[in-house]
Amino acid sequence: MFKILKYSFFDLTRSRWLYIYGAFYFLLTVSLLWLGGGLSKAIISLMNIILVLAPLIATMFGVMYYYNSREFTELLLAQPIRRSHIFFGQYLGVACSLAISLLLGVGLPFVLYGIFNSAEIWNFSMLLLVGLFLSFIFSAIAFFIALRNENRIKGFGLAILVWLFFAVIYDGLFLLALSLFSDYPLESFAIGASLFNPIDLSRILILLKLDISALMGYTGAVIQNFMGTLLGMACSLGVLVLWVVLPAWGIKWVAVRKDF
Amino acid sequence: MITIEKLQKSFGKLEVLKGISLEFQRPGITAILGPNGSGKTTLIKSILGMALPDKGRICFQGEDIKGGWAYRRQIDYLPQIARFPENLAVKELLRMIQDLRGGQPDAERLIRLFALEGYLDKRLGTLSGGTRQKVNLVLSLMYDSPLLILDEPTSGLDPLAMLHLKELLRQEKERGKYILITTHIMSFVEEVADEVVFLLEGHIHFQGSLRELKEKYAASSLERAIASILQEGKLAFSSNGHGEKAAKLVLGG
Amino acid sequence: MRKTILFATLLLTSLAAQAATVTVCPGCECSSIGQAIASANAGDEILIQSGLYQEGNIIVDKALHLRGEGWPVVDGENNNEIFTVVANGVTIEGLLIRNVGTSYLKDRAGIRLKRVRDFSIRNNRLENTFFGIYLEHCSDGVVADNRVEGKAEEEMSSGNAIHLWYCKRIVAEKNQVRGHRDGIYLEFVDDSRIRYNLSEHNLRYGLHFMFSNDDDYFQNTFRRNGAGVAVMFSRNINMWENRFEYNWGRAAYGLLLKEIYDAEIRDNVFLENTIGIYVEGSTRIQYQRNEFNRNGWAIKMSGGCLDNTVTANNFLDNTFDLSLNSAPNNNSFDGNYWSDYNGYDLGRDGVGDVPYQPVKLFNYVVNRTPEAMVLLRSLFVDLLNFSEKVSPVLTPANVADNAPLMQKLNFQS
């Protein structure tokens, strides 16, 4: 599996899109840090961007890489290699290369700016961690969708739709549900609903570090008690791990049943 | 070596293999023939574990291949259409396959044979169809596995390369290997094959030696024998109400 | 009249002449403070040397100067009030007073002053004293440089560090108070100054005004209290140059104003509070040159706030700059700097050409459905806010800064 990962990874390092992605983060972060004024402000702006962009790019990369590497896949399928290893290897290759783009693109400017000597280091770490999780989650979902759809256009459309759903539509429905049932106690519902959307969950994890005052003061004791504690933090991170594991498991499930 | 029992496979509503039983128990070259869409490639992919049977089973050296992967170490496979990662150079591709598969392949001899020395640093995307097919041949023949499966090995080859291929196949046969070939070039079959399996509409229509085939259909050449089989099939289908479909059967190539 | 003056002069000179020092120490002839007070005359100094004095209910009924040397410890052993001052002109300084003990029936204190004036309580340390320094019906005194530390865990069973009740003309300055219900509490207190204090980690308020008029508080720091400062039912309170920091929690705010008239709030810093200023029914308040930095809400107004002026303030990276829930509005928000403002200034006069609307649509949603807060900063909410900005439906158009500044204001105070 690691050999496949290695080859997928090196294959991707030849793709200029990966560099464009990394360079975009780099330039953005540099300009936010040096022109926008200050660490915490840069972290907030980056959060807004990473929460949207990391899932989107991971989705597109996942789907595109799957369809573009079919030749490679077919070559591998005739070799004495486990099927699940082929697809996990490719998936991890995509996810890792995205993760490294993000890490370098966002991380380097912060290191140059002196994040290690700042109190914001934890907020920043959380931002990066969440960005990495989102890359892994959405490239897994994308791979799963691509595996299930041999038709490129259909697969691509579906993957983008899934991204759109989690990035925007889900929250719209969420808000609608909240305002329709505002006469009922909704805190547990609100927690539950955020767990089911990795983007929401990631956002809340960062917000609890950043806008903690506003969030906690208002939503009530349940959310504060759940999300604000170490246990809640551990739970949320655990759910994010599940969000990686589930589509990855789906990749395996489809992979061993699929004809090539 | 390989035992196939009542193999069935359909893609969606399309039934491709409708209960095929086959055995390959003697070394030598077996040609799998049949018109387009008769299920040749599906059969091969099933043996390789790339297509998964709906019913029936395939045993390789006595063991069911279902869910297995290590048995592919015993198989060299030449895919029908040579598709490779376009960004890789030929050299890198060879090195990668060797890295993934392990063992000690003998690529040097084949590279020399097919005169590929000058292409080793070229990216696969830039190669012509024939050159790609040569690379394809090097990749699949460089290992010394007991079973060789070649899907359309002749496509795109120039006469010289064709000659080398025939010579290679003869050598491999003499070393006691099992070789499965699909092709549309009947002269090629006549030259190299010991046995013939003829697939039609997902069934095995004939299995036996070349000589038996010609005798059965009282034909002077393989081509005529095939024509007779198709004629027979056409009648059978039209009496079943499938005349239209049968009429469309044509030998490709 | 002349006779009185003569008498007073005589008295003073005789006092000065006779002013003696009574020394108290564990091994001395006089080994308890109570004993020393009994033997002293008005105007004397009682020098308390270092040591442990397990005494309570010490009544100071003469104009004495109690001075500790080397931090003598006066320990009430958890069941007594310690000093009760009932005479004018008393000074208490340099003592470490501890262990008064919690009582649900009596408001015990470390130092209580009852109906006295011209006192000075300074440079003492009070630890675990339930109520620290308790002034009732007092006037013209100073409470300065004291450090009052409690271990309050719940509001019901804790007292205030410095408690003023029916007082006039008191100065409380440079005190450090923490771990109580309220840091400094004022009820019916007029014409007083609260300055240079540090009030932190108190359960309820760092500073609390009730029914008090014509007071000032300035250059204080209120940090990590349940809420920084609460000003309720009071008039003419000036609030200058204070820092309100890290007052976090469910119902936490930097400053709470309730039923207030005619106040001036200027040059304060509100940093990372759930709500910077929470205003309920307040009229004619001037908000000037304050900095609101990274608060949940910078200002939240509810219920009949009229004729308030918010001008020349910096609003920096607050989650919400402003929340209003009363429809009629004649408050002015002109001439502030808002970090969220992204208008332009073609005329280059430093004032944005497009008005800034500090109330966001999401704010309305959250007011109606608090749980919606979990959607804060999501793409959907950003889109919602944006579409509302383009074509307002719910947000009131008249709540706007018509002259938003392009540059952050620099306060050199």
pLDDT in tens, A27-37: 999 998 888 76
- For testing the chain A interface, which of B44, B69, B139 should be mutated: the one with the most A CBs within 10 Å? B69
Q: How far apart are the first and last CA of chain A?
A: 19
User: A139 or B89: whose pLDDT is higher?
Assistant: A139
Helix (H, G, I), strand (E, B) or coil at C388: helix
Tell me: the pLDDT tens digits for B26-53? 889 999 988 888 888 888 889 988 888 8
- The mean per-residue pLDDT over the stretch A40-58 comes to 90
Chain A partners of B69 at a C-beta cutoff of 8 Å?
Answer: 80-83
What is the span of the domain harbouring residue C230? 226-359+396-413
B110-162 pLDDT per residue, tens: 999 899 999 999 988 888 888 888 998 898 888 888 999 998 888 888 899 89
- Rounded to the nearest 5 degrees, what angle is found at the Cα of B69, between the Cα atoms of A80 and B74? 55
Give residue A212's pLDDT band: very low, low, confident or very high (50, 70, 90): low
For residue B100, which residues of chain A lie inside 8 Å, CB to CB? 3-4, 7, 76, 79, 81
8 A C-beta contact, residue A187 and residue A219: yes
What's B52's DSSP letter?
Answer: P
Q: So what's the pLDDT on residue A16?
A: 84
**Among partner residues A69, A70, A81, which is closest to B100 by beta-carbon distance?**
A81
Q: How many domains does chain C have?
A: 2
Nearest Cα residue in chain C from A181:
C369
Contact B69 A259 (CB under 8 A): no
Query: Structure tokens of B28?
Result: 């030598």
Highest-scoring range by mean pLDDT, A113-127, A135-149, B140-154, C294-308: A135-149
Range of weakest confidence among B248-252, C226-230, C249-253, C391-395: B248-252
Nearest to C369 among A182, A194, A215 (CB): A182
Which residues make Cβ contacts (< 8 Å) with residue C174, sequence separation at least 6? C144, C145, C195, C196, C197
Among A9-13, A100-104, C13-17, C243-247, the minimum mean pLDDT is found in C13-17
Q: Is position C213 within any domain?
A: no
Band of residue A217 on the pLDDT scale cut at 50, 70, 90: low
Provide the pLDDT for residue C9.
Answer: 56
Summarize pLDDT for B69-94 with one digit per residue, the tens.
888 888 889 888 767 777 788 988 88
Give, rounded to a whole angstrom, the gap between the first and last alpha carbons of chain C.
49
| C248: closest chain A residue by CA | A213
* Domain match, C342 and C252 both: yes
Tell whether C383 is covered by a domain.
Answer: no
pLDDT at residue C412 above 80? no
pLDDT attached to residue B184? 83
The answer, yes or no, to whether residue B245 has pLDDT greater than 50, is no
Cβ atoms of A255 and A84 closer than 8 Å: yes
Strands B2-11 and B55-60: antiparallel
Q: Are residues C247 and C320 in the same domain?
A: yes
CB contact under 8 A, A219 and C371: yes
The reply to whether C218 falls in a domain is no
Q: Nearest-CA neighbor of B180 among B45, B19, B59, B37?
A: B45
Looking at CA atoms only, how far is residue C255 from chain A in angstroms?
15
What is d(CA B96, CA B88) in angstroms, rounded to the nearest whole number? 10
Are C39 and C95 contained in the same domain?
Answer: yes
Rounded mean pLDDT, A198-211: 84
B132 touches chain A (CB under 8 A): no
Separation CA B193–CA B191 (nearest Å): 6
**Is some CB atom of chain B closer than 8 A to the CB atom of A81?**
yes
Mean pLDDT in residue range A115-141: 91
For chain C, counts of helices (H) and of strands (E)? 4, 36
Higher pLDDT: C174 or A69? It is: C174
- B-chain CB neighbours of A71 within 8 Å are 83-86
Q: Residue A171's pLDDT is what?
A: 94
Residue B241 has pLDDT above 70, yes or no: no
- CA A240 to chain CA centroid, Å, is 9
State whether residue B55 is helix, strand or coil: strand
Cβ contact (<8 Å) for C369 and A223? no
Do A259 and B45 make contact, defined as CB atoms within 8 angstroms?
yes
pLDDT band at B248 (very low <50, low <70, confident <90, very high): very low
Of B77, B96, B99, the CB nearest to A78: B77
Which chain A residue has its CA at the smallest distance from B47's CA?
A78
User: Are A178 and C369 within 8 A, CB to CB?
Assistant: yes
The verdict on C256 and C194 lying in the same domain is: no
Nearest chain C residue to A175 by CA distance is C372
What residues of chain B, 160 to 219, have a C-beta less than 8 Å from chain A? none
What's the maximum distance between 2 C-alpha atoms anywhere in chain C?
A: 86
For A112, half-sphere exposure in the C-beta direction (CA atoms, 13 angstrom radius) is 12
Q: Give residue B100's pLDDT band: very low, low, confident or very high (50, 70, 90).
A: confident
pLDDT mean over A8-29: 88
Residues of B with Cβ-Cβ distance to A258 under 8 angstroms: 52
Which residues in chain A have their CB less than 8 angstroms from residue C252's CB?
A: 213, 217
Arithmetic mean of pLDDT, C67-80 = 91
Tokens of B111: 């590279």
Instruction: Say if residue C73's pLDDT is above 80.
Output: yes
pLDDT at A94: 93
Q: Check whether residue C32 and residue C74 sit in a common domain.
A: yes
Contacts of C276-279 with C-beta under 8 Å, sequence gap 24+, read C276/C244, C276/C318, C277/C253, C278/C253, C278/C302, C279/C305, C279/C308
Give the A:B interface size as CB pairs under 8 Å: 61
Q: Do C199 and C243 fall within a single domain? A: no
Residue A40 reports pLDDT greater than 50: yes
CA–CA gap between residue B16 and residue B42 (Å, rounded) = 8
Contacts of A212 in chain C (CB under 8 A): 248
* Residue C273 burial (C-beta neighbours within 10 Å; 0-12, 13-18, 19+): buried
pLDDT band of A58, cuts 50, 70, 90: very high
Chain A residues whose CB is inside 8 A of the C273 CB are 213
Q: Cβ separation of A217 and C319 shorter than 8 Å?
A: no
**Interchain contact A256–B (C-beta under 8 A):** yes
Lowest model confidence (mean pLDDT) among A114-118, B165-169, C342-346: A114-118
Distance of alpha carbon A92 from alpha carbon A8, whole angstroms: 8
Tokens of C352: 């944005």
Which residues in chain C have Cβ-Cβ distances shorter than 8 Å to A189? 371
Question: Is the residue at C109 inside a domain?
Answer: yes
Say what the pTM is. Answer: 0.79
Contact between chain C and chain A (3 or more Cβ pairs less than 8 Å apart): yes
C119 exposed, middle or buried (CB, 10 Å; 0-12, 13-18, 19+)? buried
**Is the pLDDT at B239 greater than 60, yes or no?**
no
Strands B63-64 and B55-60: antiparallel
- The Cα of C292 is separated from the nearest Cα of chain A by a number of Å equal to 14
Helices (H), chain B: 40-48, 90-101, 107-113, 129-141, 159-174, 186-192, 210-216, 222-239, 243-248
* Phi-psi category of residue B62: left, alpha or beta, with phi > 0 → left and psi -120 to 50 → alpha: left
Task: Write out chain A in H/E/C secondary structure.
Answer: CHHHHHHHHHHHHCCHHHHHHHHHHHHHHHHHHHCCCCHHHHHHHHHHHHHHHHHHHHHHHHHHHHHHCHHHHHHHHCCCCCHHHHHHHHHHHHHHHHHHHHHHHHHHHHHHHCHHHCCCHHHHHHHHHHHHHHHHHHHHHHHHHHHHCCCHHHHHHHHHHHHHHHHHHHHHHHHHHHHHCCCCCCHHHHHHHHHCCHHHHHHHHHHHHHCHHHHHHHHCHHHHHHHHCHHHHHHHHHHHHHHHHHHHHHHHHHHCCCCC
Between chains, do B97 and A7 touch, taking CB under 8 Å as contact?
no
Alpha-carbon distance of B157 to B135, in angstroms, equals: 11
Residue C16 pLDDT level (bands cut at 50, 70, 90) = low
* C381 Cα to chain A: minimum distance (Å): 8
B70/A80 Cβ within 8 A: yes
Q: Which of C205, C239, C267 is the last residue of a domain?
A: C205
Partner A, chain C 371-390, Cβ-Cβ below 8 Å: 371-383
Question: Residue C280's beta-bridge partner residues?
Answer: C258, C302
Which letter, b or e, does each residue of B150-164 get, where b requires 16 or more Cβ atoms within 10 Å of its Cβ? bbbbbbbbeeebeeb
| pLDDT value of position C142 | 96
Please count the residue pairs, one from chain A and one from chain C, whose beta carbons lie less than 8 angstroms apart.
112
Nearest-10 Cα torsion for A68, A70, A76, A78: -170
Domain boundaries, chain A: 2-255
Which residues on A lie below 8 Å from B52 (Cβ)? 257-259
| A119 vs B169: which has the higher pLDDT | B169
- So what's the pLDDT on residue B252? 37
The pLDDT value recorded for residue A109 is 92
Is there a contact between A204 and C374 if contact means CB atoms under 8 Å apart? yes
Half-sphere CA count of A155, side-chain side, radius 13 A? 22
Backbone φ and ψ for B74, nearest 5 degrees, come out as: -90, 0
Q: Compute the nearest-CA separation of A244 from chain B (Å).
A: 25
Which residues contact residue B49 at a Cβ distance below 8 angstroms, ignoring those fewer than 6 apart?
A: A77, B65, B68, B69, B72
Query: Of C58 and C11, which is predicted with more confidence?
Result: C58
Q: What stretch of H or E contains B150?
A: strand B147-151
Classify residue C211: in a domain, yes or no.
Answer: no
- Asked whether residue C230 falls in the same domain as residue C201, the answer is no
Q: Going from the N-terminus, what domains does chain B have, and what CATH number goes with each?
A: 2-248 (3.40.50.300)
Pick from A212, A217, A221: CB nearest C275: A217
What residues in B contact A79, CB-CB < 8 Å?
72, 97, 100-101
Q: Do A163 and A59 touch, CB atoms closer than 8 A?
A: yes
Give the chain A residue whose CA is nearest to the CA of C362. A175
With touching defined as 3+ CB pairs under 8 A, do chains B and C touch? no
Indicate yes or no: CB of C376 within 8 angstroms of CB of A215. Answer: yes
Put simply, whether B81 touches A (Cβ < 8 Å) is: no
Whether residues C350 and C295 share a domain: the answer is yes
Asked whether the beta carbons of residue C374 and residue A223 sit closer than 8 angstroms, the reply is yes
Arithmetic mean of pLDDT, C2-27: 67
